[in-house]
Amino acid sequence: MDQTPHSISAQKLMFDLGTHRIPQLVDVCVPEDIAVAPWRIPGAVHVSHQDVADWAGTANRHVPIVVICQKGLKLSHGAAALLRSMGFYATALTGGILAWLAADYPRLSLSAAPSVGTHWVLPATRDRRALSAAWVVRRWYDPTAPLLWVAPELVSEVASRFNAHALELDTPLPRAFEACGLMAAHLSAFLDHIETETSPVVTLLGALRNLHHRDEGLVHAALPLLDAAWVAFRQQIGQEAA
């Protein structure tokens, strides 16, 4: 599909997915469209097109915005134009969510994935599995997700008490996130690679524990390392932007 003004292709957006460069994603699909395709792009938040101006009050003016509707037509382009009139850099996703799904790009099941704003409870093991899990939550579910780190045996109980989502890491990471509605084949392969391979990023993640004693500081330092490892992995398997 040809690009129209103020638009971004699914392929270009996919290239930034899983890194700090991902734009703010706003899904304005109406309920009847969601019923047809009950998925969202990882990191996207659902906002009614009528509420976009209100949502903009909470948006980061320094980060680009991509607006998503079903087919990439009137709703996304109208909402993006409204955001541009408010001083944001906003574009519409060409072809909308249907083009994204047709390309078999990563998606989140609306019936299984925790909503944006949900607290996640993780085991405070501070190892590469825990840091990889935190990276997936922040890069693929919710960029600002609150992470609650507790003793492994308390994850489930804390989650139930604090209305949060428990992420117990007693199963392989790809399986754990598939249970949370994330469908992403290349990501699953990457997580397997991190979990099973001896690579420079694994060594660096281990070293970070000696430099950061606070959980959030450790996560903040680990995210860009995992971003770089993800990009390198994608280049290795030949999945690059056109």
Question: Is the confidence at residue 64, as pLDDT, over 50?
Answer: yes
Q: Report the percentage of the chain scoring pLDDT > 70.
A: 97
pLDDT of 236: 86
Print the SS3 string covering the chain.
CCCCCCEECHHHHHHHCCCCCCCEEEECCCHHHHHHCCEECCCEEECCHHHHHHHHCCCCCCCCEEEECCCCCHHHHHHHHHHHHCCCCEEEECCHHHHHHHCCCCEEECCCCCCCCCCEEEECCCCHHHHHHHHHHHHHHCCCCCEEEECHHHHHHHHHHCCCEECCCCCCHHHHHHCCCEECHHHHHHHHHHHHCCCHHHHHHHHHCCCCCCHHHHHHHHHHHHHHHHHHHHHHCCCCCC
What residues have CB less than 8 Å from 233, skipping those under 6 apart? 186, 189, 190, 193
- pLDDT of residue 106 exceeding 90, the answer is yes
Q: Look at residue 239 in the predicted model and tell me its pLDDT.
A: 57
Mean of pLDDT values over 137-160:
97
Cα distances from 67 to residues 73, 97, 98, 101, in angstroms, run: 10, 10, 13, 16
> For residues 216 and 130, is the Cβ–Cβ distance under 8 A?
no
Give the model's pLDDT for residue 195.
84
pLDDT at 84 over 90: yes
User: Residue 1: what pLDDT?
Assistant: 46
Indicate whether 2 pLDDT > 70. Answer: no
Could you report the per-residue pLDDT of 161-171, keeping only the tens digit for each? Answer: 999 999 999 98
Q: Is the pLDDT of residue 77 over 50?
A: yes
Report, as an integer, the average pLDDT of 88-100.
97
Q: Where are the domains of the chain?
A: 7-108, 120-236
Determine the CATH number of domain 7-108. Answer: 3.40.250.10
pLDDT tens digits, residue range 173-220?
999 999 999 999 899 999 998 888 777 898 999 899 999 999 999 999
